[in-house]
Structure 1
Amino acid sequence: MTEQPLILEMGMGADVHGHDMTKAALRAVSDAIRHSSLTLFGTYKHPGEMRVEVTIAVPFPDQVDRQAVADALPYGIIDVTVVEGGLHDRGMGGKEDITLAVAGVKAFLDTGEHGFVPTAGA
């Protein structure tokens, strides 16, 4: 296999009135993937073969619905990892507290039979 990392995107998402870790995570993933127009995968006609690694950082990792995060991505074989991080701002108090999630989305594709050759140092 000649799998190559082809995309790395970062995103942030917030839930400003509910402390919902999954909602913040979904918004972070959406933010990350909106930064790219991934025409590369359509060119090689194999977007379903793409392997996608998603890392979500939130204050309370056990409260994230990993399947909901995976379902938010349109293509590929998705692996979601959730770690402690992000922000839980208690400065406003009560329902006005803010939960912030950070997402890293990496996409990989086996380029062995596609004629795709990354440049040196990529």
Structure 2
Amino acid sequence: MSDQRFIIEMGMGNDQYGRDYQKAARRAIEDAIRHSSIPMFDALDLDHAEMRVVVTVGVQKPEAVDCAALAAGLPRGRISVTTVEGGLDVINPDSGNVIVIATAAVEAFLPFRG
């Protein structure tokens, strides 16, 4: 039996002064899920444990992100988090400060019941 994606949410987060990729990634994930509500679990009497959640985070330095810590911060489902090269590092030419911008896609899957 295969899974079927039933939701995908996108988010963006940043760290303006600390060059903290972890913080930017966490904020991108929070931005994505902050706008989601899935009433079908109650309406269809589904168990949240059946849901598989796949998170992909794009940052300029993927190795600087602790995927396990990000996964631990998500509230429901069987969670996997991966990082890829993406996002942006924006340099202020006057100060040299680097703003880290992360993007995230949060996908949720349930077993196909067709």
TM-score under structure 2 length normalisation: 0.89
Unaligned runs of 5+ in 2: none
101-110 or 1-10: bigger deviation:
1-10
Query: 1:73 offset after TM fit, Å?
Result: 1.1
Q: Residue in 2 aligned with 1:77?
A: 78
How far did 1:15 drift? 0.6
Hey, what does 1:101 align to over in structure 2? 102
**How big is the shift at 1:111?**
4.5
The whole-number CA distance in structure 2 between the counterparts of 1:34 and 1:69 is 15
**C-alpha distance in 2, partners of 1:41/1:101?**
30
Task: Give 4+ residue runs of structure 1 displaced > 4 Å after superposition.
Answer: none
Partner of 1:91: 92
Across the aligned residues of Structure 1 and Structure 2, the Cα RMSD in angstroms comes to 1.5
Identity, % of aligned pairs? 49
Structure-2 residue corresponding to 1:58: 59
- Return 5+ residue gaps in structure 1 as ranges: 118-122
Deviation at 1:6, TM superposition (A): 0.6
Q: Structure 1, residues 39-64: CA drift from partner, whole Å, max 9, x if none?
A: 22333331122101100000100000
Q: How many residues align?
A: 112
Partner of 1:25: 25
Structure 1 residues 80-107: Cα deviation after superposition (integer angstroms, max 9, x where no partner): 110011011112534x421000000000
The alignment partner of 1:68 has SS state of helix
Aligned mates of 1:34, 1:2 — CA distance in 2: 27
CA displacement, residues 8-31 of structure 1 (integer Å, 9 cap, x when unaligned)? 000000011111111000000000
Q: What is the aligned partner in structure 1 of residue 8 from structure 2?
A: 8
> 2 CA distance for matches of 1:90 and 1:24?
15
